[in-house]
Amino acid sequence: METFTAEVPVPRKRPPASNPKFTITSLSSIDREVWDDFIALHSPGNLLQSYAWGDFKHLMGDTVLRYGLLYQQEIVGAAQIVIHKRLLGGSTASLARGPVMAGTTPKLMLYFVEHLSQICHASLTTDLIVEPLLPDVPVAAWAQLGFRPTSPVQPGHTTQIDLNASDLMATFKPKTRYNIRLAEKKEVQISASTEKKGLEELYRLLMVTAGRQGVSFYPLDYYQTLFDTFSPTGDIVIMTARHEDDILASLLLVFYQNTAFYLFGGTDDLKREYMANYLLHYGAMKFAREKGAQRYDFWGVALPGDPLAEKWAGITRFKLGFSGSLVQYPSAWRRIYHPFWPRVRSLLSALRTIPSFFHRHTA
């Protein structure tokens, strides 16, 4: 295993190690259960740091690095980094919802991040984007490591539904409850499937939604690879809303530890007045609870102040109608090693609309 100790040369302004016995070690050969057990203990339901998510990104052609911060050979920090090659050249390293730490000491987290940054630099990436879990880390501390604020790759806010409520629907807002009852009155039926063939219908609905709302989705092989990654453990489900012979809505749920994640969904133009999507999510929540999940994560909402808040007000309003707890993630940070390619990408992004995560999370 490749190991970096506290004696590795670092910039002068690095945060000092709290103990010389800390080491940063490659965990490329770590057992899946050991990795996920650490995540479960210190960041339950952190899908983007799960072993399976790393496998999925690897199958999609990205490079996945797993590193641990060890104290006396015991893991006290873990980081899964995804390196994605850009079409126009260069590659971006992303550390999403990490690193996961056994404690809440910002100094130690920054020490870990700095060494991870050195590793990414040595891997010839053009930049590293960190979307951390620990809040309240001073801007000056990030700046000392060469990081600057940046736009997040992942949603900055989400809403999570507590599935332990004895009367789940009673927790929803009145309009949401009304629409659920309307769909039930119209005899909309909800079903769950672990069969891959259901992806074709889901993808059709995604394309219908894309045409109606002018948004973008991934190509079909993205969903097929995602399904192939999570289906062996039964952690991916396609939920469908039907009325008679018509499929009105469909969504994709991924399960990790105690959380069910709503990642993608689409609706047909047919019978939209039946409010099938409301009943679909209610059915998905009940299914997730029966499967043992304690939380239902809508993955992302756009609140006031977000650049897309006005454009995606309807999507956010739909998700917030199920009430739940609002979660705010810390700011994203970026360190650029080779500025040429990021500047080219920034120039091109100013000339076209870049699809956001909201494009893939439609009401």
| pLDDT tens profile 3-49 | 433 333 333 344 444 456 899 999 999 999 999 999 999 999 999 99
Residue 189: which domain range? 157-327
> Token pair for residue 111?
């020490």
Q: Please say whether the dihedral angle defined by the alpha carbons of residues 307, 313, 315 and 316, taken in this order, is positive or negative.
A: positive
Domain presence at residue 247: yes
Domain identity same for 255 and 233: yes
Domain identity same for 266 and 244: yes
Domain identity same for 125 and 202: no
| pLDDT score of 316 | 92
Give the whole-angstrom CA distance, residue 154 versus residue 197: 29
pLDDT tens-digit readout, 105-147: 899 999 999 999 999 999 889 999 999 998 889 999 999 999 9
CATH of the domain at 300: 3.40.630.30
| pLDDT score of 2 | 42
pLDDT(260) > 70: yes
| pLDDT score of 345 | 58
| pLDDT score of 238 | 98
Give the whole-angstrom CA distance, residue 155 versus residue 143: 23
pLDDT tens-digit readout, 323-341: 999 999 999 999 999 876 5
Pairing of strands 295-297, 259-267: parallel
How sure is the predictor about 351, in pLDDT bands with cuts at 50, 70 and 90? Answer: low
Pairing of strands 22-26, 63-71: antiparallel
Contact 360, 264 (CB under 8 A): yes
Range name among 34-38, 84-88, 167-171, 218-222 with the lowest pLDDT average: 84-88
Domain presence at residue 73: yes
Per-residue pLDDT averaged across 293-308, rounded?
91
Domain identity same for 173 and 102: no
Compute the C-alpha angle 323/207/356, nearest 5°: 55
Domain presence at residue 74: yes
**Closest-CA residue to 297 (of 280, 284, 278, 313):** 284
Domain presence at residue 8: yes
Per-residue pLDDT averaged across 175-198, rounded?
97
| pLDDT score of 314 | 86
Q: What share of the chain is helix, strand, coil (3-state, %, to 5)?
A: 35, 25, 35
Pairing of strands 157-162, 148-150: unpaired
Domain identity same for 104 and 233: no
Domain identity same for 271 and 188: yes
Domain identity same for 57 and 38: yes
pTM: 0.88
| pLDDT score of 47 | 98
Domain presence at residue 53: yes
pLDDT tens-digit readout, 143-168: 999 999 999 999 999 999 999 999 99
Domain identity same for 262 and 296: yes
Token match 């609870």: residue? 289
Percent residues over pLDDT 90 in the chain: 77
Contact 220, 363 (CB under 8 A): no
Domain presence at residue 188: yes
| pLDDT score of 168 | 96
User: Which phi and psi angles does 94 have, rounded to 5°?
Assistant: -130, 130
Give the whole-angstrom CA distance, residue 112 versus residue 120: 13
Domain identity same for 323 and 340: no
Number of domains composing the chain: 2
Q: Is 8 helix (H, G, I), strand (E, B) or coil?
A: coil
How sure is the predictor about 214, in pLDDT bands with cuts at 50, 70 and 90? Answer: confident
The mean predicted confidence, pLDDT, of the chain is 89
How sure is the predictor about 344, in pLDDT bands with cuts at 50, 70 and 90? Answer: low
Per-residue pLDDT averaged across 84-89, rounded?
81
Domain identity same for 136 and 246: no
281 vs 305: which has the higher pLDDT: 281
Domain presence at residue 362: no
Contact 159, 326 (CB under 8 A): yes
| pLDDT score of 313 | 84
Domain identity same for 138 and 20: yes
Compute the C-alpha angle 273/274/280, nearest 5°: 125
Task: Indicate the helix (H) or strand (E) that contains 229.
Answer: helix 220-230
Domain presence at residue 363: no
Domain identity same for 82 and 229: no
Give the whole-angstrom CA distance, residue 209 versus residue 304: 24
Contact 76, 51 (CB under 8 A): no
